């Protein structure tokens, strides 16, 4: 998968990431660890991750909960992975430590990181400039991975207070739970917030944290369907096991849109249905997704740009 395709699928275009990075750099005193080398490493990690799924013909569902990633020294330090071993492309065996700017493939252990949703690129993209945003993170999952974007908020909805006095009353999660008790907010937030809260252990630039200010972070939760998870990795695993077909359909729509060079119309629904079923019957292999997209009548008879 090319860098352009990866960014189209994930939303990691320069137009999305760069303004956020500038805002973060403006608030350097609040988030001193963010800099240009880290930003570049974040995006490269996600591009290499997607490339492996394509090159090794893995299941597209691995995007949700794979227990490997790619890091250089800067990103390994950000992820607190400096002491682990890694592999260089084309070299057999493990190499001690992570050194320099060269990216290495590493196996992830523990209950912190698994899959795309724990990449710092995605976590930064879905944060506010100086704090996390469970709403943005939950909305991003619904829109970009599950294909069920929530509606825009109604006009006149009050913003969550951001001043120091408000922050002293509880963690962001606690304050948001109180905020969403308002009937005008509840219907959408009950869909977005549990997903976003599941990644609250990651700060505004995707580093692990156990506390939100003076308050402990609680990332365990329950989805509207009643399914429970205890930590970020469990949520990633749950999305694969219970929302895998939704994700497969959403990715099919994105790939078909990219291949056709246009938005999908109602008459493309049959093609999406057929592709989704075919790739499910064949283990959700990435190669099968590409083959089925190319086989569609819409692709074979598309008009030149």
Q: Is residue 305 part of a domain?
A: no
Q: What is the pTM of this model?
A: 0.86
Give the torsion through C-alpha atoms of 34, 36, 38, 42, to 10 deg.
Answer: 110
Q: Tens digits of per-residue pLDDT, 52-107?
A: 999 999 999 999 999 999 999 999 999 998 666 666 554 444 445 566 788 999 99
DSSP state of 87: B
Look at residues 234, 259, 274 and tell me which one is the last residue of a structural domain.
234
Q: Tens digits of per-residue pLDDT, 15-36?
A: 344 444 545 554 455 677 888 8
Look at residues 118, 144, 159 and tell me which one is the last residue of a structural domain.
118
On average, the pLDDT of the chain sits at 83
Count of structural domains, the chain: 3
Residues 186 and 138 placed together within one structural domain of the fold: yes
Look at the alpha carbons of 154, 155, 160, 162 in this order and tell me if their dihedral is positive or negative: positive
Residues 172 and 146 placed together within one structural domain of the fold: yes
Give Cα separations from 102 to 15, 86, 95, 96 (angstroms): 26, 11, 12, 14
Residues 204 and 293 placed together within one structural domain of the fold: no
Token output for 56: 């090794």
- 274 is in which domain, residue-wise? 243-300
Q: Is residue 159 part of a domain?
A: yes
Share of the chain above pLDDT 90, in %: 55
């Amino acid at each position: 998968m090319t860098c352009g395709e990866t960014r189209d699928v994930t939303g990691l275009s320069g137009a999305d990431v760069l303004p956020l990075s500038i805002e973060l750099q403006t608030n350097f005193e609040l988030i001193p660890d963010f800099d240009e080398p880290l930003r570049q490493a974040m995006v490269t990690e996600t591009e290499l991750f997607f490339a492996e799924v394509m090159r090794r013909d893995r299941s597209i569902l691995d995007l949700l909960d794979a227990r490997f990633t790619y890091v250089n020294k800067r990103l390994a330090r950000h992820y607190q992975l400096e002491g682990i071993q890694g592999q260089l492309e084309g070299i057999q065996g493990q190499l001690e430590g992570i050194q320099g700017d060269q990216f290495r493939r590493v196996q992830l252990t523990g209950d912190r990181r698994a899959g795309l949703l724990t990449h710092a690129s995605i976590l930064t993209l879905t944060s506010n400039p100086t704090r996390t945003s469970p709403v943005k993170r939950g909305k991003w999952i619904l829109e970009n991975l599950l294909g069920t974007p929530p509606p825009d908020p109604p006009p006149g909805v009050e913003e969550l207070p951001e001043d120091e006095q408000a922050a002293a009353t509880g963690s962001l999660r606690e304050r948001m739970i109180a905020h969403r008790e308002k009937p005008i907010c509840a219907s959408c937030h009950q869909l977005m917030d549990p997903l976003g809260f599941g990644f609250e252990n990651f700060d505004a630039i995707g580093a692990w944290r156990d506390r939100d200010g003076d308050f402990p972070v609680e990332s365990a939760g329950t989805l509207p369907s009643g399914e429970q998870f205890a930590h970020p990795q469990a949520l990633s695993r749950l999305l694969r096991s219970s929302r895998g077909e939704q994700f497969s359909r959403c990715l099919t729509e994105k790939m078909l849109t990219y291949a056709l060079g246009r938005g999908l119309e109602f008459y493309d629904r049959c093609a999406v249905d057929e592709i989704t079923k075919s790739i499910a019957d064949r283990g959700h292999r990435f190669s099968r997704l590409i083959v089925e997209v190319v086989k569609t009548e819409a692709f074979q008879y598309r008009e030149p740009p």
